Structure 1
Amino acid sequence: MTEQNRRILLKARPTGRPGPEHFELAETPLPEIGKNEVLVRHRFLSLDPYMRGRMDDSASYSAPVKLGEVMEGECVGEVVESRNPAFSPGDWVGGARGWQLYSAAPGHTVQKLPGVEGVPPSAYLGVLGMPGTTAWVGVTEIGQPRPGETFVVAAASGAVGGVAGQIAKAMGCRVVGIAGGAEKCRYVTEELGFDACLDHRGDLGAQLDEACPGGIDVYFENVGGAVQEAVFPRMRDFGRIAFCGMVAGYNVRPLPPGPNLTSVVRKRLRLQGFIVSDHPRAWATWRERGAAWIRAGKLRWKEDVAEGLENAPDAFIGLLEGKNFGKLVVKL
């Protein structure tokens, strides 16, 4: 093979908003594979908000990316060479292989994509991948909504929020989404089937009072910031909040103070943060359930596709500013 591997490296650590200067595009020879490894040509790269935390040299639930190393990310692609009896050239696989065109992967670090009729391979980075599984865990294990309850989800047009609301709707809840702009709100109600969607660019508190006159039973938190400030005082007694992400604060240094937590005691609220990697058994459960819903036409999703590895940094910067519409992937 004469093709070169192209990679996006972490060049410098941002102190606030990332910029193009924090990334570097580099070319290297194709990696050579060893025993029980496969050479994978990546076809799609997932871009997700958690990657901003990996750019910082600070303690978190996962180690930061080192300077000069490939940016972390999930990919799906095709096996082009194999020294592992479990894989053959042409197999589609997924795994955390980074922002690059090729990777040499030990067999245990990638999984064959099962394939669902009518579902593109990129869906295993979104609706049937980490975001979809995150939504399943946050709703069913953390929020635990009951039929008739009011379920509110931030970033409702996004990869996690859109699936979370559909799961809650299937469980019998009245589902209210929060998104940015009229176009996204129309998509949430008309395509995803939410009962209402509120534009956070307006008077969100007044909109919540109108859409949730009895208060909020379950809140799926993806955003934090001003959205959280509007939702928090409208939680009902014994409400539950599943903290999935706080993207509004990812570029803010120092971090802003949190809400007044007096109501946690007064309203007997249950607040729990979670990381989907702590729930390994949920992946197979959701993939089976989600695939069945897709086949039955009961689960919808949207992808926002950037073209070319070289455009991944700009697409990622836009993701942190809410410029994407749906699950953001890069077609490689």
Structure 2
Amino acid sequence: MDFNPPPYQGTNRILGGKSVTMQDVAEAAGVSISTVSRVLDERLPPSRSKAAERVRKVAQELGYRRDIMASSLRRGGTGTIGVLVPRLSDMVMALVYEAVFRAAERHGYFAIVATSGDDPAQEQSAAESLLDRRVDGLILATSRLDDQLPAQLRQRQIPHSLILRTDGVSRSALGNDEQGGYLATRHLIDLGHRDIGLLAGPNFTSSARDRQRGYRRAMNEAGIPVREEWVCESGYGIEAGESVGYSLLTRENRPSAVFAINDDLAIGVMAAAHRVGLQLGQELSLVGYNDIPLVARLPIPLTSVHVPFDHVAALAVELLLAPTEPSDPIRRVMPTLIPRASSTPPASS
């Protein structure tokens, strides 16, 4: 016996004194209500039949909108996903939230966001606030290596996934950060640089740790000793990049190239280079990470490692919604290096 999912009702703008319903769409399209239900159910693979195309066209013309609350109640949830990020002033986090929003929407969910800084106590409080609003699950871009929240969520059997960072246990979607760090450093080595510094970011995130691992792997593979005084821990922001970059570039022996583990840090290094009178792309080569839209439009465009945020976000949502434990709960997306004018061979070569 074929299973026909029960029709779900919908509302929209007022048409002829009443809200447009699924019955209205069915009558206008000349099909059954169950057909309209199947065609407009985002949880099902989209049909490309002529009837399905007609149903979607009629629904759009009539302005039909499904009732999210009614649909969510039938599947035992609220149709919302909570997204927790450190801050939305960070362009990467803003881009990631927008990518998660789009991915969630494709599954019929609405994503709401909360911020927590990089403070574990604020993270816990923000997560509980989202859960108090009865979200169906959480996507965390805040996980630290010493973070207890993912373990608590696992213990409480609360659906969740981690994005851009991982604790190595919870379902996670992120870029292959070690390979990305390797690509950035290998690029500078292939240009002829041997004096390569690293703005390493904070040591409490898997992303910073793994990008540093990639840097060290590339240096060791090329037989270039790592000068530990040129490996500088920092925050993630532009101010940290300028402060630490200025300290690094004003040393008596400075590197000829710098890999900054995110684009904000690299922009800060650009500011520091300007302060000390170094010409970027001539006297100093620089590589960032994430390839945010701004960096290709700078006066000297920044070489950066591109991370496909939409792909990562789609994986994070799929992992969150998966009904059973996936065989590979930690998914890593391969990054790519985008060379630009900020990285050139060393002046002496």
Same fold at TM > 0.5: no
Higher relative contact order (Cα pairs below 8 Å, separated by 6+ residues): 1
User: Normalized against structure 1, the TM-score is what?
Assistant: 0.36
More helix by share: 2
Which one has the largest radius of gyration?
2
More strand by share: 1
